[in-house]
Amino acid sequence: MPTATPDSFIPQNPKTAFVVAKRKANAEKSEFRAGPAATNVATCEQASTQGCLLRIEKVDNSEDARLKKSISFPVYIVVITKLSKPIDTAESFIEVVPSKMVSPPVQCKGAIDIKAIMSQDRELQYFVAICATQKLSTEHLLQLHSGITGNLRFEIIVVDDLDVEVPKTYAVFIVPADRNNEYLFDCIEGRMALLKDLQYDRLTIIRLQDEEYYESLDSVKNELNALAFCLRPRACEDDHVQMLSIGPTFTKKMIVAKGEGINGPWEVLHVQQANGECFRQLVFTRVANLVQSEARIIENFDNPEETVIDTKTLTCSYQQTMLGSILFLELFRNQSDEQLEANLCVLGLGGGSLTTFLHDTFPKSTITAVDIDKETFDIAKQYFGLPNNSPRVDVILEDAMVFLEEVSAGQRVKKPFDVVFLDISGDHHVDGLVCPTPEFAIRMVFQLVKECMAPNGVLAVNVVSRNMTSRQNVMREFQGVFESSFMFSHDTDLNVVLFGTDQPEAKKTLTINGISHLADSKWIKVKPHGVTSFPKDL
């Protein structure tokens, strides 16, 4: 069941050629008649009620269209066999053989079913024709749904190298479901980087889905081989399609708990990597399986009630990066982790792994964690060891915007914050921005946070976006609020962390703290040279 997007892929007035072949069971030749689809579908339905055998099969003309650089629409052959002894009409059906690229024969009961299958097949044909006859100026997306479960089974993305005038070389890259949210596979910039790295002119990326069962990688290749072949660029002369893949991150996975809160459906998972390491994860399934929190499992992987997790190690790279904000603090210069007396604030509790880490790593610091969703608080407490009874941790169940306004007005806390971690995520928005949510990604909010901070305090903002434009929009809003603004990003990560502070000589302080604490503070992953100023062309 294909769905082609965007809508411009689907022709406004497509015409489907429909050829009917009538023959008797003992006839030496058949009678052919061509006509519009609607008329002959009705003919088929009428014949099925008269005890005839019916089979509708699509003629494969995709290769001819590709070589002629033209777009063609489906042509179907309908074979109506009149038997000497008619079959029971109650048990009769019409067998439809749509595109052999992806679909097995389908049994239909009437015109409505036939028209639905033909409509889906027409979308697929048009998508293939566009890819086979043209150089693509933008990504083209096709979604294929399972005829058995109805779930999304394959997400197929075709991308061309814009620097190549005539695409010739071609490959297919199959992505395991648990790696779909990685930078290289989950955004336009990442997929273009993958295309460049593999040095092909065109790449078809096939994203497998978490809810679907795949017997093996070879079975996936066999299932999609015909379709992948038809998506070759017109100038490609290779009759063999190179099908590449990457191994799954996890060799074992189990769902510990699931539910739904303000941020949508969530799951707590136990996953085991290929290298044997095991982790507990909080995943928001609506947002491209976004991993919100993660903790390393020390023991009892298979017994969740007895599982022991490591609360003194952060495994999410973006959280490790956000910790770089502490290196900007002047008060950290001559203090160890155990001596640091800082007032910290986490906006967006999530699974609580960052809050718990701060509590366990800096025993003289205080932490205020704010989240509007009670469900996440319960998850953090039950599955990620949140020390909610500690006198140094204050968990506030409230809208973070209301909280900031109250603090700014002097109604909440007596001591301003030395560091604020802003990590509020939501649904995947149209502009691709996942974190922070749009209402928290504006200058007014960044200014409001600054009013809640100590004079030389630091704001760290986690930015997750599937496109560069929305990411740059956040940076424009952030720029100018503080005397110094910095950013840190990984080449293989969707996350960009922004730092803002009025600390004099902020980069010098970062460098000194980074070097002096490197041996003792195992949590330091941010290297000063990796923290850069904002681009000038924002």
Show the tokens assigned to 101. Answer: 């690229």
- Residue 245: pLDDT over 60: yes
Note the Cα 517 to chain centre separation in Å. 36
* Among 293, 309, 325, residue at a domain's last position: 309
Is 54 among the domain residues?
A: yes
What would the mean pLDDT of 514-523 be, rounded to a whole number? 85
Is 524 among the domain residues?
A: no
- Residue 282: pLDDT over 80: yes
What would the mean pLDDT of 230-246 be, rounded to a whole number? 87
Pairing of β 31-36 and β 17-24: antiparallel
Give the residue from 511, 490, 532, 493 showing the smallest Cα distance to 184. 493
Q: Which domain holds residue 374?
A: 317-517
Alpha-carbon dihedral sign for residues 234, 144, 248, 524: positive
pLDDT given at position 8: 30
- Residue 14: pLDDT over 50: no
pTM comes to 0.70
- Sheet containing 278-284, strands listed edge to edge, beginning at the edge strand earlier in sequence: 250-261, 264-273, 278-284, 290-299, 308-310
What would the mean pLDDT of 396-401 be, rounded to a whole number? 95
In this predicted model, what pLDDT tens digit does every residue of 312-359 receive, in sequence order?
A: 999 888 899 999 999 999 999 888 999 999 999 999 998 999 999 999
- Residue 69: pLDDT over 90: no
Burial 161-181 (b: 16+ CB within 10 A, else e): beebeebbbbbbbbbbbbbbb
pLDDT-based confidence at residue 119 (cuts at 50, 70, 90): confident
Show the tokens assigned to 202. Answer: 């065109």
- Residue 529: pLDDT over 90: no
- The larger pLDDT score, comparing residue 139 to residue 538, is at 139
Calculate the alpha carbon distances from 301 to 177, 295, 347 in Å: 21, 12, 30
Q: Give 487-520 as a DSSP string.
A: EEE-TT-SEEEEEEE--TTHHHHHHHHHHHTTTT
Q: 510 in the Ramachandran plot: left (φ > 0), alpha (ψ -120 to 50) or beta?
A: alpha
- Residue 25: pLDDT over 50: no
pLDDT-based confidence at residue 249 (cuts at 50, 70, 90): low
Q: Which helix (H) or strand (E) holds 67?
A: helix 62-68
Could you give the number of structural domains in the chain? Answer: 4
Do 58 and 99 form a contact (C-beta atoms < 8 A)? yes
CA distance 349 to 84: 74
Is 334 among the domain residues?
A: yes
Q: Are residues 430 and 505 in the same domain?
A: yes
Q: Are residues 330 and 363 in the same domain?
A: yes
- Residue 364: pLDDT over 80: yes
Is 530 among the domain residues?
A: no
pLDDT given at position 328: 95
Q: Are residues 51 and 158 in the same domain?
A: no
Q: Are residues 358 and 499 in the same domain?
A: yes
| Encoded amino acid at 92, one letter | S
- Residue 29: pLDDT over 80: no
pLDDT given at position 360: 95
Please tell me whether residue 173 adopts helix, strand or coil conformation: strand
Lowest mean pLDDT among 21-35, 122-136, 156-170: 21-35
Greatest Cα pair distance, the chain, in angstroms, is 98
Please tell me whether residue 458 adopts helix, strand or coil conformation: strand
pLDDT given at position 116: 73
pLDDT-based confidence at residue 179 (cuts at 50, 70, 90): confident
Q: Are residues 322 and 456 in the same domain?
A: yes
Q: Are residues 396 and 483 in the same domain?
A: yes
In this predicted model, what pLDDT tens digit does every residue of 154-171 receive, in sequence order?
A: 999 999 999 999 999 999
Q: Are residues 321 and 298 in the same domain?
A: no
Q: Are residues 79 and 185 in the same domain?
A: no
Is 349 among the domain residues?
A: yes
Q: Are residues 293 and 324 in the same domain?
A: no
Do 47 and 83 form a contact (C-beta atoms < 8 A)? no
Q: Are residues 334 and 304 in the same domain?
A: no
Is 191 among the domain residues?
A: yes
pLDDT given at position 187: 84
Please tell me whether residue 441 adopts helix, strand or coil conformation: coil
- Residue 13: pLDDT over 60: no
Is 368 among the domain residues?
A: yes
Please tell me whether residue 206 adopts helix, strand or coil conformation: strand
pLDDT-based confidence at residue 17 (cuts at 50, 70, 90): very low
Contacts of 175 (CB under 8 A, 6+ apart): 185, 205, 206, 207, 208, 245, 246
What would the mean pLDDT of 90-107 be, rounded to a whole number? 60
Is 241 among the domain residues?
A: yes
Q: What is the domain-level CATH number for residue 368?
A: 3.40.50.150
Torsion of CA 407, 408, 411, 414, to 10 degrees: 70
Do 76 and 58 form a contact (C-beta atoms < 8 A)? yes
- Residue 106: pLDDT over 70: no
Estimate the crossing angle of helix 217-230 against helix 111-133, to 10 degrees.
70
CA distance 224 to 189: 25
Q: Give ∠ CA 498-500-501 in degrees, rounded to 5.
A: 155
CA distance 326 to 336: 12
Q: What is the domain-level CATH number for residue 192?
A: 3.40.50
Q: Which helix (H) or strand (E) holds 309?
A: strand 308-310
Q: Are residues 394 and 510 in the same domain?
A: yes
pLDDT-based confidence at residue 251 (cuts at 50, 70, 90): confident
Contacts of 523 (CB under 8 A, 6+ apart): 313, 314, 320, 323, 337, 357, 361
pLDDT given at position 302: 93
Q: Are residues 325 and 341 in the same domain?
A: yes
Torsion of CA 452, 457, 459, 460, to 10 degrees: -140
Estimate the crossing angle of helix 353-361 against helix 374-383, to 10 degrees.
50
- The larger pLDDT score, comparing residue 63 to residue 433, is at 433
CA distance 207 to 184: 12
Do 439 and 401 form a contact (C-beta atoms < 8 A)? yes
Torsion of CA 388, 389, 392, 395, to 10 degrees: 40
Estimate the crossing angle of helix 37-48 against helix 111-133, to 10 degrees.
140
Note the Cα 427 to chain centre separation in Å. 12
Contacts made by residues 216-223, CB under 8 angstroms, sequence distance 24+: 217/174, 217/245, 220/174, 221/174, 223/102
Do 314 and 355 form a contact (C-beta atoms < 8 A)? no
Give the residue from 155, 204, 167, 191 showing the smallest Cα distance to 66. 167
